[in-house]
Structure 1
Amino acid sequence: MEMLKDCKYASSAFQPSSSQPAEQNNVKSESKIRVEGLTRTAANGLPILHGVSLRVKAGGVHGLIGPSGSGKSTVLRALNRLWEPPPGTVFIDGVDCTKMDVVSLRRHVGMVFQSACLFDGLVAYNVRYGPSLRGIHLSDERVEELLLKAGISEPDKNFLSKSVNELSGGEAQRVSLARSLANEPEVLLLDEPTSSLDPLSTRIVESTVLELQAEGLTVVLVSHNMDQVNRIANTATILLKGSVLQTGSLEELKATDNAVVQQFITGHMD
């Protein structure tokens, strides 16, 4: 396996899991991620998402912005089928994600949650977990490299053998990021990954995201922090009550004369 620093996060041309042809006769989409008319209805019949559409370019950082309950995390979790979107609504490299093998999809579209969801045991076990499911054992050196990439300063064998119960919040979140990176994903989904971290830990995670983006990784970030979106995102989608208020580059969003959009962009949300 190639070392992460040499890995190019370019398209591996996701393939459908069946014999069905990919969308548009397997012609690669210009967007890494394309969402078309995504809808979801709650069990009580109330709509959660109203025809959400957006594009995420390969190698970019795309922010999902909006107040609590606007549908940001719901959209994010559709991108690797943590809930099953309707066919023909979510495409990765032009391929309908519902036609992909879900295990392969989640390996290539990794996710880091708001709270680090680590397995009981040691740090090294958590980082090695994904590759081990494919019969790949990561060396200590490889695990250390991934932890360093995720923002752990000078990880050593003592840190690898540390119980996850001994980690600080910032350390746990970075180990969670390293565990995702161990699968060498092409897309990384971040659901408010720094909301419970101190400012220093937040900046370390942001710096890591920017480094990964510079290497070609595509990132989709849910955040309530507009300053954070301004620091690391290239494009963004503003969601309000399950609908897209506006989507585009940060420059386009900042230039709009829509007063509601401006409230979000300036961080003065009611």
Structure 2
Amino acid sequence: MTRRNDTPLFRLHDAGVRFGDVQALRDVTLDIHAGERVALVGANGSGKSTLLRLLHGLLPAAQGSLTSLAPARTQAMLFQRPHMIRASALSNVALGLWLRGMRWRDAKAHALDALARVGLDQVARRNARTLSGGQQQRLALARAWALSPAVLLLDEPTASLDPHAKRDVEALIGDVADGRTLVFASHNLGQVKRLATRVIYLEYGRVLADLPVRDFFEGALPKEAMLFVKGELA
């Protein structure tokens, strides 16, 4: 398991995000350090996706502050349903490398290596939009890994997959995240136990618990978090 170091990559202080009249995040104060594997858990609408987008710079903090020592070029974010351009799987990976300044020939060679890493080299020439959900998530991981990010932000990356595809993608997440900082949202508590070193529980945009993974599942929790872990949260 990767150990965190003492470098704070993200520092939030009383951070808040609003969508019109809805306060999606409120008074969030926390640090995320290099090498941590942080799971964001909570019911739908608790603020997990909003927090990920805030960390990635896709949303501004309406209140408080976010200090990021991880430049955008060192981050990659994967969504629950990744967007695929209307092109081959190979081109979906190579394009990001080409946009970073790599020659197209070299980008394709590197992209093929990335596809092989996730077991998709045999479908490299297929249109990415014709791939299955599990294959598209693996392709999204290949696309992220090819860019050598220091930080991976994942929003429910296995939520819409069948059990077999979930196991495959989860194993790849553990492999691709090795040596990197991982922040991911998940409803799958077994997955949280397997992948995370730290768990943050959110409810109505507030952080109610922030604990090492073992303490979260075996220690004392606020009532709301305990009900969530037991599957009893309304």
TM-score (norm 2): 0.88
Q: How far apart are the structure 2 equivalents of 1:63 and 1:40? A: 20
Q: Which residue of 2 aligns with 1:152?
A: 119
1:90 counterpart letter in structure 2: L
Secondary structure, aligned partner of 1:89: strand
Q: Which residue of 1 aligns with 2:61?
A: 85
> Match for 1:256 among 207, 220, 233?
220
Alignment of 1:122-141 (within 5 A): 122-136=88-102, 137=104, 138-141=106-109
CA contact (8 A) 1:226 1:264 kept: no
Q: How far apart are the structure 2 equivalents of 1:266 and 1:225? A: 12
Task: Find out whether 1:190 has 2:154 as its counterpart.
Answer: yes
**Structure 2 residue runs without a partner (length 5+):** none
Alignment of 1:1-270 (within 5 A): 30-43=7-20, 45-86=21-62, 89-93=65-69, 105-136=71-102, 137=104, 138-149=106-117, 151-152=118-119, 155-156=121-122, 159-214=123-178, 216-254=179-217, 255-270=219-234
1:207-263 alpha-carbon deviations (Å, 9 max, x no partner):
12212333x111111111212111211101100001111112112223014332222
Sequence identity percentage: 32
CA contact (8 A) 1:152 1:171 kept: no
CA 1:146–1:264 in structure 2 vs 1: closer, same or farther (change >3 Å)?
A: same
Regions of 4+ moved over 4 Å: none
Q: Which residue of 2 aligns with 1:101?
A: none
Report how many aligned residue pairs link the two structures: 228
Q: How far apart are the structure 2 equivalents of 1:231 and 1:109? A: 22
What is the CA distance between 1:134 and its match in structure 2? 2.3
**Structure 1 residue runs without a partner (length 5+):** 1-8, 10-27, 96-104
CA contact (8 A) 1:59 1:213 kept: no
2:114 counterpart letter in structure 1: L
CA contact (8 A) 1:227 1:267 kept: no
CA contact (8 A) 2:91 2:108 kept: no
1:148 counterpart letter in structure 2: A
What is the CA distance between 1:148 and its match in structure 2? 3.1
1:232 counterpart letter in structure 2: L
CA contact (8 A) 1:54 1:237 kept: no
CA 1:243–1:196 in structure 2 vs 1: closer, same or farther (change >3 Å)?
A: same
1:84 counterpart letter in structure 2: P
CA 1:257–1:188 in structure 2 vs 1: closer, same or farther (change >3 Å)?
A: closer
2:135 counterpart letter in structure 1: E
Secondary structure, aligned partner of 1:47: strand
Q: How far apart are the structure 1 equivalents of 2:10 and 2:198? A: 13
